[in-house]
Structure 1
């Protein structure tokens, strides 16, 4: 049945097909998630304002902003800044709940259908958004976003399980980063295309939700028809590639029926480094991805099309830096120039300290629009090394429980997603430069404090609790939480040979 597909596609390395399809999954997921951040600027009735004051610390920048330059904007609603903050954060209320169950499901049943179900649920709720808002306004939108987050919570755990199944350790940084940078591509498309659609749509803001929901539906159909959970069951992967992947990942990966080692994980410092680092990064990331369109519109007074395009630019930089840094990370590990642990620590730190500095600097650019946009591009772009630094680190620590680890990480990140829009809504009722400067200083503090935990505790070697059945309940190494006999790195920090 699959002979023609095998002849045609067997020459294509299927692990890279997975990397592309996984990236597209995250892309459509993020585009559906964040497009509301720009659309809400057109959904809310905004009174025209202007400011001639030069005291930008106390007032917004001079200029004029209105709800839209398009007369066909659809219905608009009188939602204050606090209500908008609740709406933007409500996705993460559901998202945080389904993470751990989703990770357990992905670890037990594989990633293909777990991921498909997540995207399908998000697609359905995205397509329903205009109808629900027209009937129930803010309350309906909040409930819809909670349900959307609840369904989409299995996305990253499922993806992490698939990375563990498809990515050999020597290519894990590249493949994992390529998949995870769908967050940036989705943000780029979700902002740039949404801005254009909002400007020229004959039906206004509802078209944004129909457009991205349709794209996601196309991905779901393609994924179900043509992709598989692992090389073992893939019908047209070449035997050479299947053997290569199996040989490279078989050492620390098994089909397991053991209970998840919650107690051992909870006492593992490298596990806590994942959570601390993820919270710190996501606090800064969600501050920007959720509220940057509002800053561009309400403070800098960019038009809706300019807002979409300029909001997308920083994530273009982030995508480029992410992929370049992932290639560098794999090269450093493969060549033996740095241990996996040191690579993960260095790249995570670079992806935290750099953004912390430049985002605060942007707030001091005040109303110099060119300077502020450049600083945002640099600051968000420097978040890129976080992906080969910490986002793939769960697979390093435990290939067998990578879905569960990613679920817990994403749940902790979702907590930041819940808090940041509310914090922004509370601190910026007047949308002034000074109010936003406080927001950026808080992000700076969270970045810097959480990175201390990363520097102390992050590790890059497989932990003993990855396979308790074979490793036993032996003594933990106090340095890294792994049994001495199971280390991939020597105590001196050099790779064993």
Structure 2
């Protein structure tokens, strides 16, 4: 016993150097920044459709659809728009309706667009309550990786579904995206609760939620510029 006690006393304990929160080598700061960037990306993937919808939908075809019989399909409406757009100029007066068209090919009315926009909210409504059960059982980082993976897959599939299958499959993809969205905030909050002391949690939360404002401040102009540069002449 005495020899073991002597050995234990002879062992030197190396002190762990703790950096303050705002320090280049602070792992807590790195974690908060990664959460902020991830939250910015997921927010942009969710909200960019509100900007790009204007260049996906053919506004001229929607305006023309109100004057054509309901038996005419979308392809006929697009052909009609293309055939008259180069030869007919609408009279400009105070009562004429101005239609801003970016050359989109989708003929989705406002009801279908509203349904697509609501898909993520319906999905998150289902998963936000049981999200903590999965986070406590399988770890917050794994749940967060799975949720972000769902976001990425659904975002990649959205253009293909919109062109080939119509608004209902796009709504379903947004709904599945919403299922992943219900895990984003709870998983981030769990990471901050486990990694940060109580004195730094409010600062860490304010830092990672800045990603939401960054997505709106920088993401929306990027999406609008893509609509403008990809506009069909």
Matched residues in 2 for 1:51 and 1:21: separation? 54
Q: Which has the larger radius of gyration?
A: 2
CA–CA separation in structure 1 for the residues paired with 2:54 and 2:124: 23
Distance 1:172 1:203 in 2: 48
Shift of 1:16: 0.6
Q: Which runs of 5+ in 2 are unaligned?
A: 1-18, 64-89
Alignment of 1:103-182 (within 5 A): 103-182=132-211
Matched, 1:52 2:94: yes
Answering whether residue 116 of structure 2 is matched by residue 87 of structure 1, we say yes
Counterpart of 2:125 in structure 1 is: 96
77 and 14 in structure 1: CA distance in 2 versus 1, 3 angstrom threshold = same
**Residue 203 of structure 1: how far off its partner (Å):** 8.6
Q: For 1:131 and 1:203, how far apart are their aligned partners in 2?
A: 19
Say whether the 8 Å CA contact 2:55–2:231 is kept in structure 1: no
User: 1:189 deviation in Å?
Assistant: 3.0
Distance 1:161 1:51, change over 3 A: farther
Aligned to 1:33: 46
TM-score (norm 2): 0.71
Corresponding position: 1:187 with 2:216: yes
Q: CA shift at 1:65, angstroms?
A: 4.1
SS at match of 1:77: coil
2:41 counterpart SS class: helix
8 A Cα contact 1:35 1:194, kept in partner: yes
Q: 1:21 aligns with which of 25, 34, 45?
A: 34
Consecutive unaligned residues in structure 1, runs of 5 or more: 1-8, 54-61, 205-497
CA RMSD of aligned residues (A): 2.9
Matched, 1:200 2:213: no
Structure 2: how far apart are the matches of 1:83 and 1:37? Answer: 13
- The Cα of 1:11 is off from its aligned counterpart by 6.7
Structure 1 residue 63, shift from structure 2 partner: 8.6
CA distance in 2, matches of 1:66, 1:111: 45
Number of residues paired by the alignment?
Answer: 185
Q: Distance in 2 between matches of 1:86 and 1:151?
A: 18
Which of 36, 45, 56 is the equivalent residue of 1:43? 56
Shift of 1:115: 0.8
SS of residue in 2 equivalent to 1:32: helix
Q: How does 1:411-450 map to 2 (within 5 A)?
A: none
